[in-house]
Structure 1
Amino acid sequence: MKKVGIIGYGWLGSRISRNFAESFEMHATTTSPQKLKNIRSEGIQADLAVFNEDEKQFPDPWNIAPELDVIIITVPFSERRTSKEILQKKLSSLISFIGKFEKQLFFMSTTSVYPDEPGIFKEEMLPSENIFTENKIKEAFPQINILRLGGLMGDSRLLKNFNISDLSGVVNHVHYEDVSAVILKMIEKDVRGKVYNVVAPLHPLKQEVIAAQNNQHSDDMQYNNKERIISSEKLITELDFTFIHPDPKNFHLD
């Protein structure tokens, strides 16, 4: 049985782990001592690891890393809210924690790296070399797969539960089960060194999604010609991937 490690057992990491638990031996890290006991109670081997800007508090190298077949990094790195200096220190901490690792690696990035302007955005329009965090992690691990995730949804995480100021735009969302399915398919195919947008292929209006989640009709809602759409065409084509949840209007039904 392959061994998979998840660095960052948060909202997404915990769901990936649960989806993988029957097929892999799971290992994980958390920043919270309180969570450690709960994670271990699920049969997952877990360790504490905090990645911050204080170089004096770098975690020791992850002892299990050399034995792992796959590492999935879900630790968030926000370039919009964090200075490059702090990001660099946090990345250095993470890279040191992993150590020399030449097997499959996955890094959860975000579609927020694309400009907040109208257009259809594909991976080749913004190479990783032009994104600070992606570039630094790729320099350390050339084989890493970078997944630019859309807005993460599923379970009780639904658009209607958020405070949305502008309902006229389209959504670029993805169900967490599809994130897990993409990673699983890439593991099976031993894919390395790829950058993919992981976003549901349908892009309804925010107001359509909320109406569906409230069991309301969404008639007479019109798209404009200035939408920002993140394309998952490359992922679908290259991996022959079929989304489990292609339509964000139906995320609440699953």
Structure 2
Amino acid sequence: MRSVSIVGLGWLGLSLARHLKNLGWDVKGSKRTHEGVEQMRLMRFETYFLELTPEINADPDDLTNLLSVDTLIINIPPSEYFFDPKLYVEGIENLVNEALLCNISHIVFISSTSVFPNVSANFDEESVPQPDSEIGRALLEVEQRLFELKDIDVDIIRFAGLVGYDRHPVYSLVRKESAISGGNTPINLVHFDDCARAIQLLLEMPGYQRLYHLAAPKHPSKVEYYTKMATKLGLNPPQFLCDEKDPQRIIKADKICRELDFVYQYPDPDEFI
């Protein structure tokens, strides 16, 4: 049976664990609180306590069990763990070193399109990242260190803004009291189901070192899209400030389609709800 450990069973990690388990994978995972571990175990997921401080805080036997798998999926956004991005990078490096000691053959790192700045451009996998945030710089440093590894399959997948089922940016936007800037800026979003299917594809077809973006191919403006979604949900539409100088930042994400025959189930963000 194919085995995988997901470090970080948050919203994305837990949904991914369910998806892979339904496909017959042996799925393990980690939480950074003991209460979280118990909640996952009640849901019948083999879960272990793991905290990066940035040193690894875990029972040695639990750590061995967690890392005794074919593939390690690292799903820890910087903001969830550390206010200091340097400590985040160090923590991920410590985790990867332990994984190598356990002879893991494949690492998948969940990154973000925040490695690209908020400027007018089309960014694909060949574009040189120039992060304009501390989180983006930390993610990029982890990516670079992972691609320095030898004799191990490494996949890095950069997600655009995640949407799925009970999660959609419009819910937070409609609560804002003041008008939101950047109304003419295109959206870059991706549905969870496409994320899960893309990761599944990477697990089934390891290929040494690969980098992919994942974002729905259609990019309506913020004002157009979120006004439409709010109306669809019966919410008062958020107010936007629109300027002809709003950045036209678009994430191009068709490389995975060309190389791995991936097909977006949700190519149009209008279909997310």
Shorter-chain TM band: 0.7 to 0.9
Given candidates 227, 245, 249, the residue that maps to 1:228 is 249
Indicate which of 230, 242, 259 corresponds to 1:238: 259
Identity of aligned residues (%): 26
Q: CA deviation at 1:212?
A: 2.7
1:203 corresponds to: 219
Check whether the contact 1:28–1:44 (CA below 8 A) recurs between aligned residues. Answer: yes
CA contact (8 A) 1:28 1:46 kept: yes
**1:140 shift after superposition:** 4.2
The aligned runs of 1:1-254 (5 Å cut-off) are 1-23=1-23, 24-53=25-54, 55=55, 58-59=57-58, 62-65=63-66, 67-77=68-78, 83=84, 85-100=86-101, 101-126=103-128, 131-140=140-149, 143-163=153-173, 165-166=180-181, 167-215=183-231, 226-252=247-273
Number of aligned residue pairs: give it: 243
* Structure 2: gaps of 5 or more residues: 131-136
Deviations along 1:89-110, whole A, 9 cap, x unmatched? 2223322442433422210010
Which secondary structure state, in structure 1, belongs to the residue aligned with residue 107 of structure 2? Answer: strand
Q: List structure 1 segments (4+ residues) > 4 angstroms apart after TM superposition.
A: 81-84, 222-226
RMSD: 2.6
Q: Deviation of residue 60 (structure 1)?
A: 5.1
TM-score (norm 2): 0.79
CA distance in 2, matches of 1:207, 1:14: 31
Instruction: Give the Cα–Cα distance (whole angstroms) in 1 for the partners of residues 229 and 121 of structure 2.
Output: 27
Give the unaligned 5+ runs of structure 1. Answer: none
CA contact (8 A) 2:6 2:13 kept: yes
Distance 2:90 2:155 in 1: 21
CA distance in 2: counterparts of 1:250 and 1:208, whole angstroms:
14
- Amino acid in structure 2 at the alignment position of 1:246: P
Letter in 2 for 1:26: V
The Cα offsets for residues 116-174 of structure 1, whole Å up to 9 and x where unpaired, read as 1001001111279x931211233346521000110111112112112372332111111
Q: Is the 8 A contact 1:4 1:26 kept in 2?
A: yes
Partner of 2:119, secondary structure, is coil
**Hey, what does 2:133 align to over in structure 1?**
none
Q: Which residue of 1 aligns with 2:134?
A: none
Letter in 2 for 1:181: R
